[in-house]
Amino acid sequence: MILCHQKWNLEKLFRLGLFGTAALLLLSFAALFGKTLQRRTMHEESLPLAQSKLFNYDTIGTGALLLNPPKSLDSLPYLNEELLLVSQDHKPGKKSSERLLVCLKSAQQEKLLVHGERAYLEGGALFTFSDHETPLWIRPLVLDRSSVLMQVCNEKEMVEFLLKKSAPTKSVLSDSFLPFKTAEYWGRDLFLQRYGGEESLGEKECEQLLFKNPSYACLVREGSYLAYIDQQWRTLSLDQISEGVPVALVKSVSAQKIELEAWEGSGFQSRLFSFEKKTGEKFFKKAEEIFTALRRRTASQFSCYMAGRKLMLKKGDWLLQTESGWHKLTDPNEIDAYAEQRTPGELLILDDVKKEKNKSSLVCTLFNKSRTQVQTIIIPLNEMTEKKRASKKSSEAKQ
């Protein structure tokens, strides 16, 4: 029992001795490491800052993997926010090159730029456009109708970015657009379909766009171009339209409406217009509403009263109803004015005199004001008129 107790005490002392030795070794190693670290720090303080770093994290990765990529054009850190796209010139017609209007936001300065051509800037805190060459320039590259790539370059390098669009501003309506505000879509021109010659063959299937103050019409179909010349819109082919002239393109035509886009002369302002098809009241008139006391004077000549006014008429006459009453069109200029709808109104044409079974009838064609409705009127020449005419011929023959 005594031997076992002594053995346990010896083992305990041995373990305590090992623990103490390990502790002394750890203290010695810590003191040695501290002195080495102190000497290394004192040495690094005598070296340049770039050489004193054990690891340079800024050098990790290359290209797009750089943690801290170099800043491009440090003197122009905000031009991508300063340069804004105001508008592009998308007007159809003859153009030497693509054009766009840009602005410098802070300077509130606009400038017309041309695709692929340089424009120069000057300034520092506030950039402005320069009229002379400077080390700093920009160059726009038009990608499509909605995207413009801007190149910015100084003496060192170049950067590129897509131009942001400026907020739309409420602009004054161009004078060339004003006629569209009151224009009306009335369908096809039935007068032209019936009486138009070979020169108007292509226009017979067109739709009427009627303008007011002054009154005139444009015959259009989908894809037609209009040009604003001498204060009026005219239908022309694209190669007939000169640069700088306001242009409109008919984008779509249906049985219900016409849609077109119009550009003012510079091409930077455009508007969309839509015209719903007009439908007038049913057009019908009785013969007695037009003629009274119709009498045949000769084989081709008649006398009658129209709105209380006595007229002598013949086959082929055109009668236009104006504010002052029915007026016979005799001058070629008057006929052209009606054909072009510069003088609108109801039109009556005395087409023919037909005779069947000793009875004659006057055949007329009546068009409404918009020329979208037509009516054929047949007026019998009463028997009394025919008998009087025959009796007059008989008496003249006896004499």
The pLDDT of residue 69:
43
Q: What is the mean pLDDT of residues 277-286?
A: 84
| pLDDT confidence tier of residue 50, bands split at 50, 70 and 90 | very low
For 305, the token pair is 């009263």
The pLDDT of residue 399:
56
Say if residues 150 and 241 touch (Cβ distance below 8 Å): no
The pLDDT of residue 18:
54
Distance CA 338, CA 218 (A): 13
The pLDDT of residue 395:
56
**Residue 77 neighbours by CB under 8 Å, 6+ apart:** 71
pLDDT at 10 over 70: no
Percent of all residues in the chain with a pLDDT value above 90, rounded to a whole number: 40
The pLDDT of residue 64:
44
Q: What is the mean pLDDT of residues 310-325?
A: 89
The pLDDT of residue 338:
93
Say if residues 343 and 334 touch (Cβ distance below 8 Å): yes
Q: What is the mean pLDDT of residues 249-260?
A: 95
**Residue 28 neighbours by CB under 8 Å, 6+ apart:** none
Burial of 271 (0-12, 13-18, 19+ CB in 10 A): middle
The pLDDT of residue 119:
95
**Of 22-31, 42-51, 245-254, 290-299, which range is least confident?**
42-51
Q: Which long-range contacts (CB under 8 A, 24 or more apart) does 307-314 make?
A: 313/350, 314/350
The pLDDT of residue 287:
84
Tell me the pLDDT tens digit for each residue of 206-226.
Answer: 999 999 989 999 999 999 999
Give the phi and the psi of residue 69 in degrees, each rounded to 5: -65, 150
Say if residues 345 and 325 touch (Cβ distance below 8 Å): no
pLDDT at 65 over 50: no
- Its pTM stands at 0.66
Tell me the pLDDT tens digit for each residue of 344-398.
Answer: 899 999 998 888 877 888 899 999 999 999 999 988 875 444 445 555 555 555 5
The pLDDT of residue 68:
46
The pLDDT of residue 271:
92
For 68, the token pair is 């801290």
DSSP of 103-126: EETTTTEEEEEETT--EEEE-SSS
| pLDDT confidence tier of residue 53, bands split at 50, 70 and 90 | very low
Of 154, 81, 77, 149, residue with least CA distance to 113: 149
| Peptide bond just before 344 cis, omega within 30 deg | no
| Peptide bond just before 214 cis, omega within 30 deg | yes
Name the residue with tokens 């035509």: 253
Sign of CA dihedral 38, 43, 49, 55: negative
For 3, the token pair is 């031997």
Tell me the pLDDT tens digit for each residue of 182-205.
Answer: 999 999 999 999 888 777 777 888
Residues in the chain: 399
The pLDDT of residue 141:
94
Distance CA 87, CA 127 (A): 20
Whole-number mean pLDDT of the chain?
Answer: 80
